[in-house]
Structure 1
Amino acid sequence: MNETLSIGERVAWYRRRRGMPQEVLAGLVGRTADWLSKVENGRIELDRLSVIRALADALDIRLGDLLAEPSLLDWPGDAQGGAVSKLREALMDYKQLSPFLAADDAEQPPDLDILRAEVGSAWSAYQDARYSRATRLIPDILSQAQRAVRMYEGDQQQQAKALLAMAYQGAAMVLTKIGEADLAWMSADRGLTAAQESGNIVVTGSLFRSVSHCLLSNGRLTAARDLVMNSASFLEAGLEDGSPTYLSIYGTLFLVGSMAAARIEDRSTVRDFLAEADRAAQRLGHDANHMWTAFGPTNVAIHRISTAMELGDIQIALDQGPRVDSSTLPLERRVRHSLEIARAYSAQNRMDEALALVLDAEELAPEQVRYHFIPRHLVTNWVRQQRGKPSYLLAGVAQRLQIVA
């Protein structure tokens, strides 16, 4: 199948491949055959991941099979080709994983201060929604960090392990964004191992967030929620005297968990997680970006909107979402919030307002819009709903997102 099919059409295609009548699939997800018929014919718009996830599970396919996640085949702007293949090679280079197999020809180990700056550059590229740049930077950073771990001893080796963990986490975050779920999981898993070996509890907490996020992205929602609970219990011991960075790591965990809970429609846990995140944000006292968390009161407010949309509380999202000033946050967070409001507008048939937000987001962060579920889903549905020829603006963004023929 190509990327021109709507989610409903994909549901119909996989259902027929399974030899499954509409009545059976509808029953498996607790719906009626009439509802499913309208979904497949485009008369009901699927915009809640919890419902799409249930359909994917019932059809025994990946969530991404219904979302039509694009593979990383091209990059806009100044990108160079082969970025993901090089990162894949770096992750699968067995020689780098064992001190017995790797050969370090250089006389001097990597400078840790320079390595720390390079890790920061990769994370900054991610937060600026420059995923192609981050993907190109990370392979060399991983190689240098692995070499540092092998060549240093004592405290410097522990620092190197912490930097290696953060490099792996950066890889996991960007790979999740571009739909490389298996590579993202590999990166997060290795990052958590390096973090625990570093003895740095803040870095370990940060990697708990990354693993939880990978579980969330892979549709393992209950596991993601439960990992957040367990990770938070592990971090609670140091919370009373926690630094701003510690508070940020702790609070961000609950934001990830709130999204997982929302997608399994666990409203009480959503409330509890957001309340705990808000307490950490109030202790922090302002928006900040410690350990690249973008954590603070504003990010908590943004997640209230996102979880409301996942739970189907569209009016809450519309009442509160436009009032949130996200200008203090990194670009990736600002654009993500705009896309959520666009989804809410679209749900109330306010397409012009929603399209304007998508176009603004595309101008700011074209790579993020190209690879995110929300704009691709919205634009596909808008094109399908047009009775005549789509407007110039709508046709343009559809062509750039490569979702219509």
Structure 2
Amino acid sequence: MTTDLTLGRRIAWYRQRRGMSQEVLAGMLGRTVSWLSKLENDDITLDRLSVLRAVAECLDIALGDLLAEPSLMEWTTDSGQRTVPALREVLMDYRILLGTTSAVADPTDLQQLKTDVDEVWSAYQDARFGFVVAALVRLIPRARAAVATYAGDERAIAAGRLALAYQVAASTLTKLGEVDLAWTASERGIAMAHESGNPVVIGSLLRSITHSLLSTGQYVDAVRITNDAADFFEPHLHRPSSTMLSVYGTALLAGAMASARAGDRETTRDFLNAASDAARRLGRDENKLWTAFGPTNVAIHRVSTAMELGDVPVALKLGPDLDTRSVPIERRARHSLEVARALTTAGRRDEALATVLDAEYRAPEQVRYHFLTRYLVQTWMRSVKGKPSLDLAQLATRLHLG
């Protein structure tokens, strides 16, 4: 109902639905009426997600309601015409709860299962989310059947691969704003990870839980689970494999984002420094278990956490010139959106638009579905005096905003 409204107008819409005056809501937030009025009229730039979460709590709505999520997945050659609803049916199959998922006479070969999981994760890192959703609709039931059919070590391997399939489902659904469904995928995934007995897979799914908590605005809980994950990793870090080190490092980066959104500068710094130490031990940018971990990803998160903490000058100093060519397209495009956000806040909107257009060229689905893109484009369109530029008008049309 409120998808076409700007962020500020959505806040005003929900406030009015709750029968609140601006004075009441501003008082609950510890802010002035003038600040709230400017926010509702889109006269101030996107505030930190921690503040938006506080607004959502006061209005008793989900954070996604303010961010106009979930996004409608477009039909493409990759996705076909059975997208998120089909994946929802797979994830919410009641037979899982009853333990009646049937085995098959000829289960998927374990090597083929690995190949299929690799393919889906590679597509995710290429920001081909339509392909990922369509592939998971087929992959997850086959992986479940493998777990139900195999025994012993083979069952454990199948469980680990199913866990990783659930993780990529959770990551993709988070991108689309389907946060409750992403939590279901993460929950299913951590159960399979524990069944696998593989500490690397368990660590990877702990990160998935953190991301799911982040997407629902549960920042303090996300910090707690990161600390729990660090305790889990500790005995495995004396002589770690590069994969274990990478999974550990990315878990810390997720925790850094959580603590930044919670407004905890000290914990953010500690997580980033620990991740930086792990990247130094690794020695270079890697992509073990699809983590994209290394010095570059740590630098990307320094920019993102700076923006969440309101340190725009820091983000502008570190972000625009950061060379991200060594990380996957999904990471590069997400960083570009953060840089565009910082440039917009600094009043450099032409540069911000160019940054978004470049990201869209490389990763159209990543840009299309992210709430930051919608917010930035709506902000630019409102601030234009006269007709918007052709590039901006066409971008707005592609996002169904104009």
TM, length-normalised to structure 1: 0.97
1:90 touches 1:143 (CA, 8 Å); kept in 2? yes
Q: Aligned residues: percent identity?
A: 55
Q: Which amino acid aligns with 2:138?
A: D
- Equivalent residue number for residue 304 of structure 1: 302
Q: Which amino acid aligns with 1:66?
A: L
- Residue 364 of structure 1: CA displacement? 1.0
Q: Which amino acid aligns with 2:351?
A: E
3-state DSSP of counterpart to 1:295: coil
- Equivalent residue number for residue 167 of structure 1: 165
- 1:83-162 correspondence runs (5 A): 83-95=83-95, 101-106=100-105, 108-162=106-160
Q: 1:106-136 CA distances to partner (integer Å, 9 max, x unpaired)?
A: 3x22110000010011111111000000000
Match of 2:395 among 378, 397, 400: 397
- Residue 91 of structure 1: CA displacement? 1.1
3-state DSSP of counterpart to 1:323: coil
- Equivalent residue number for residue 24 of structure 1: 24
- Residue 83 of structure 1: CA displacement? 1.6
Distance change >3 Å, CA 73–CA 339, structure 1 → 2: closer
Distance change >3 Å, CA 271–CA 158, structure 1 → 2: same
3-state DSSP of counterpart to 1:215: helix
1:76 touches 1:367 (CA, 8 Å); kept in 2? no
3-state DSSP of counterpart to 2:319: helix
Tell me whether 1:344 sits opposite 2:373 in the alignment: no
- Equivalent residue number for residue 60 of structure 2: 60
3-state DSSP of counterpart to 2:320: helix
CA distance in 1, matches of 2:185, 2:70: 20
- 1:283-322 correspondence runs (5 A): 283-322=281-320
1:8 touches 1:46 (CA, 8 Å); kept in 2? no
- 1:1-400 correspondence runs (5 A): 1-76=1-76, 78-95=78-95, 101-106=100-105, 108-400=106-398
Distance change >3 Å, CA 383–CA 76, structure 1 → 2: farther
Q: Which moved more, 1:79-88 or 1:368-377?
A: 79-88
Q: Which amino acid aligns with 1:316?
A: V
2:73 touches 2:130 (CA, 8 Å); kept in 1? no
Q: Which blocks of at least 5 consecutive residues in structure 1 are unaligned?
A: none
1:96 touches 1:146 (CA, 8 Å); kept in 2? no
3-state DSSP of counterpart to 2:9: helix
1:3 touches 1:402 (CA, 8 Å); kept in 2? no
- Residue 27 of structure 1: CA displacement? 1.8
- Residue 400 of structure 1: CA displacement? 0.5
Q: Which amino acid aligns with 1:352?
A: D
- Residue 23 of structure 1: CA displacement? 1.6
1:165 touches 1:191 (CA, 8 Å); kept in 2? yes
CA distance in 2, matches of 1:75, 1:370: 13
Q: Which amino acid aligns with 2:199?
A: I
CA distance in 2, matches of 1:58, 1:96: 36
Q: Which blocks of at least 5 consecutive residues in structure 2 are unaligned?
A: none
2:102 touches 2:145 (CA, 8 Å); kept in 1? no
2:69 touches 2:178 (CA, 8 Å); kept in 1? no
TM, length-normalised to structure 2: 0.97
1:53 touches 1:63 (CA, 8 Å); kept in 2? yes
What is the total number of aligned residue pairs between the two structures?
402
1:288 touches 1:296 (CA, 8 Å); kept in 2? yes
1:96 touches 1:143 (CA, 8 Å); kept in 2? no
Q: 1:233-288 CA distances to partner (integer Å, 9 max, x unpaired)?
A: 11111111110000011111110011111111100000000001001110000000
Distance change >3 Å, CA 400–CA 248, structure 1 → 2: same
CA distance in 2, matches of 1:284, 1:84: 37
1:4 touches 1:380 (CA, 8 Å); kept in 2? no
- Residue 350 of structure 1: CA displacement? 0.7
- Residue 221 of structure 1: CA displacement? 0.6
CA distance in 2, matches of 1:252, 1:209: 7
Q: Which moved more, 1:174-183 or 1:267-276?
A: 174-183
Q: Which amino acid aligns with 1:69?
A: E
CA distance in 2, matches of 1:66, 1:150: 41
1:22 touches 1:36 (CA, 8 Å); kept in 2? yes
Return structure 1 stretches of 4+ with deviation > 4 angstroms.
96-99
Distance change >3 Å, CA 305–CA 194, structure 1 → 2: same
- Residue 78 of structure 1: CA displacement? 4.5
CA distance in 2, matches of 1:242, 1:313: 34
Q: Which amino acid aligns with 1:18?
A: R
CA distance in 2, matches of 1:109, 1:52: 47
CA distance in 2, matches of 1:389, 1:211: 45
Q: 1:135-194 CA distances to partner (integer Å, 9 max, x unpaired)?
A: 000122111111111111111111011011111111111111111111110010010001
CA distance in 2, matches of 1:172, 1:103: 24
